[in-house]
Structures are given as C-alpha cells and as structure tokens.
Amino acid sequence: MASYDVIIIGSGPGGYVCAIRCAQLGLKTAVVEGRETLGGTCLNVGCIPSKALLHATHQLHEAEHNFARMGLKGKSPSVDWKQMQAYKDEVIGQNTKGIEFLFKKNKIDWIKGWASIPGAGKVKVGDETHDAKHIVIASGSESASVPGADVTIDEKVVVTSTGALELSKVPKSMVVIGGGVIGLEMGSVYARLGAQVTVVEFLDAITPGMDGEVQKNFQKILKKQGIDFVMGAAVHTVETLKTKAKVHYKLRKDDSEHQLDADVVLVATGRKPYTEGLGLDGLGVEMTKHGQVAVGRDWQTNIKGVYAIGDAIEGPMLAHKAEDEGMAVAEVLVGKHGHVNYGVIPGVIYTHPEVANVGETEETLKDQGRAYKVGKFSFMGNGRAKANFAADGFVKILADKATDRILGAHIIGPMAGDLIHEICVAMEFGASAEDLALTCHAHPTYSEAVREAALACGDGAIHA
C-alpha cells in the first residue's frame, strides 16, 4: 500500500492532464488505469484513431476527385484496408507511448488495474488499498444504446464507434443510427471508402444543438458527398442476421413503418458517464438525474476530498473540456483558483469540410431575447479556398448589437477546427467584432474569411 497526495482514476485527456499538472505543482501523484495503454477512450478508441482514418480517407478523396484537375495524373490508388488499419494503430501507439513517457518524466505512478473507492481517502485496486489526500474521478464515458429500442451490439455487425474503427473489411452498406458528431465522422470515413452510408436521425436536424443554418448547410454538403439521410425517424429494432442487419424504424410524422438493410450498423446515439465499479453508491456520492457525478464550483463532490471531471460530470463530452477541468482541479488542490470558462469551449466535427463552433447560436440568443447582429462570409470569396477546391461553407460571427462584443461563431469550411481558436481567444479577452476586423491577416490564408465575417458585422466584407 502506498500513500499519495492525489490519486486520479482514469488516464484519458482529463486524467492524464490533471496528473501532469498535479505533479508539476509538487503533489505526489498516481493514476489508476486498467487498460494496457494510457490515454483512455480518446487516444485508444476515439479521437485519435478516428482522425487517422479521416485523414487517410480524405487523401483518397483528393486523389480520386481533385488530383487530375491539378495536373496530377495516374492510376487512382487502391485501398489496402489492412495497411490503413496498421497506420491507425501506429498513430495510437505513438500517442499512448507519449503519455507513458510524460508520466515517467513527471514521476507519476501508474497503478495498473480498475479502481474502486471504499471510503474517503481510499482507492482500492485489486487486493491493494492506497491512501490519498485527494481523489479525482476521471473515468470518462461509454457508448449509449438507442433509447427504448431492441438493439444488441456485437461489435461486428452492430457496432459502436469502437467496433467501427476496426471492422474486418470495408462494408458495402452502413446504416448510422444518430446524426451527431461520431456518426457523421465515421459515416464520412466509410462513404469515402465506397460504402453506401445512410444516417437515421430521430430529430429533424443533424448535429443537435448547433446553429440552425450550419445544420442545414452541413447536411446539404454531406448529401452531395453521397451520404443519405432519414430524418425524424425512431429506430425500434435492429435485427441481426448472419452477416447483415435490418434496421426497423418509424417515421415520427406519420408513424409509418420502414426498414433498411445494411452490412454494418453503427450505433452513434451519444455517450454516457462510465462510473461502474467505483462504488459511488456505497460512498454516498451524489449523482445527477442523468447519471453524472454531481460537483460544485471547485469540482468537488459532496464527499470531501473526492473530485470529478470530464465526461463523468455535466457539460459537453469533449476531451479539451476534460483537460481544462483537469488543470483547474490541480490548481484547486494546491490552494490556487482553478478556472474553466464554459462559455468558450469550442466544438469541432472533423469531416471535410470541417465544422466548428463556439459560444452562442442564433437560436440561443433569440431564446434569451438578446439583440445581436450577424457577420457572414462565404469561402467562395476566399482565394486560398478556391485554389484548394475547399470553397464549400462559410464563417458566421454573432456579436452583441449594442456593444459589438463577440458572442459566438460558427464555421463550415477548410481547417475550421483551427480557425475557430482565433475567435476563442478574442472572446476570452472580451473582444469586439471590430477588434477582429482591424487585425491584419496574412494573404492568402483561410483565416481571411474570419476577418471578412468580422468586417461583415460592421460596414461590410470586402470580398463579398
């Protein structure tokens, strides 16, 4: 048995970042992780491997559709699925080994196994119980099932995002249940590889919670890329046959019955906190009605010395949100003031084009009754985007009508996930759209579209 200043349960982005910052601040730190590798869902079966496949298949798309237009002629590449999987695994290995190196560098102990909390200040792993002044729950999340539906996941024919990353072969057809981030990213991967992809969504718009104009335009772009959509559909049964599946659903508008056949069905209806086996009930930890760990402003639970961060608590299930919380909790543990600005947490969908957002949407501002103005600029007016066959989409900035302060932004377009951060920094400093518009941007860059949208909040964009 060992004694620590802090034991963190889980080595995902929230857990490992929290551990590193705790160690940097002088705390004796350990992390409990039961996987064979560090990094949690994100590095092993989530963010990182999915981005590897998105990158690889985007290169295939460019070769098939744009190389000849640029004078790059030759036979289109064929897909070696086994090699693509090996590339993905190599990327995972590089990243997880990198976290292991950082643990050694910062003298963080990795306690291998699955944790439970038998009492305040105690963490049990296997037969050993360790003492800790502070415990941080960073146990992450797991795939959620289809609400109220008869669906059995076997990770071969009916898969979650985990199974979708390691299919034995590229399917001819795939049904994606859920029009959120995970479903659209993985659907894009297999559509580029030649699968006929159909997204079945319960609501009338994809990417729930995003700006309405973005939702409509994004769906149109994906349809142009060959992805089909069935909207307003409630899946009630997925029937698994030997090598295929049948998806049975009802259209909400008329209660009519329909079915789709598919080689693979991807269940992408969201995620739920993973706290199984931690013993939170016995410890008396308060939970929310949605099964999340309830915490106060300092991320402490109702049990003194027990904290929680990331997907285990309320808020968007995003790796970078967990990282921010991990650093903030570390600061709290040494008596400093940990801070997370929940109003400036960007979201990104890594399709092509990418989609990124931060802050308010038009819908949330209307609900608040807040007067606002819109500055919008199409990538069709951006020279770099046109040269790179990446002119689909736009930048949209929302600013307070009276003060011009930036309230939110929404981007569909090339490198949207990187472009959004200029606006995030501006919002952190309470900048106005005019501040952004008066900032010189290099030409030719995609970022000029951000400046043009800011200009459009005032006297007007130049290239519109």
Domain spans in the chain, listed from the N-terminal domain onward: 3-143+272-333, 158-269, 347-456
pLDDT < 70 regions, the chain: none
| Strand 271-273 versus strand 122-125 pairing type | unpaired
For residues 100 and 427, give the distance between their C-alpha atoms in angstroms, rounded to a whole number. Answer: 34
Please state which CATH number belongs to domain 158-269: 3.50.50.60
CATH classification of 347-456, choosing from 3.10.150.10, 3.90.1150.10, 3.30.499.10, 3.30.390.30? 3.30.390.30
For residues 57 and 65, give the distance between their C-alpha atoms in angstroms, rounded to a whole number. Answer: 12
**pLDDT at res. 2:** 83
CATH classification of 3-143+272-333, choosing from 3.50.50.60, 1.20.1510.10, 1.10.530.10, 3.40.605.10? 3.50.50.60
Task: Identify the CA nearest to 396 among candidates 368, 362, 365, 370.
Answer: 362
**pLDDT at res. 399:** 98
Task: Identify the CA nearest to 165 among candidates 96, 88, 222, 93.
Answer: 88
Which listed residue (258, 339, 443, 463) is catalytic? Answer: 443
Tell me, letter by letter, the H, E, C secondary structure of 169-235: CCCCEEEEECCCHHHHHHHHHHHHCCCEEEEEECCCCCCCCCCHHHHHHHHHHHHHCCCEEEECEEE
Same fold yes or no, 3-143+272-333 and 347-456? no
Phi (first) and psi of residue 292, to 5 degrees: -95, 160
Residues 6+ apart with CB under 8 A from 36: none
Check if 130 is active-site.
no
**pLDDT at res. 242:** 85
Other Cβ atoms less than 10 A from the Cβ of 60: the count is: 17
Task: Identify the CA nearest to 202 among candidates 144, 263, 288.
Answer: 144
Query: pLDDT tens-digit profile of 209-251?
Result: 999 999 999 999 999 999 999 999 999 999 999 889 999 999 9
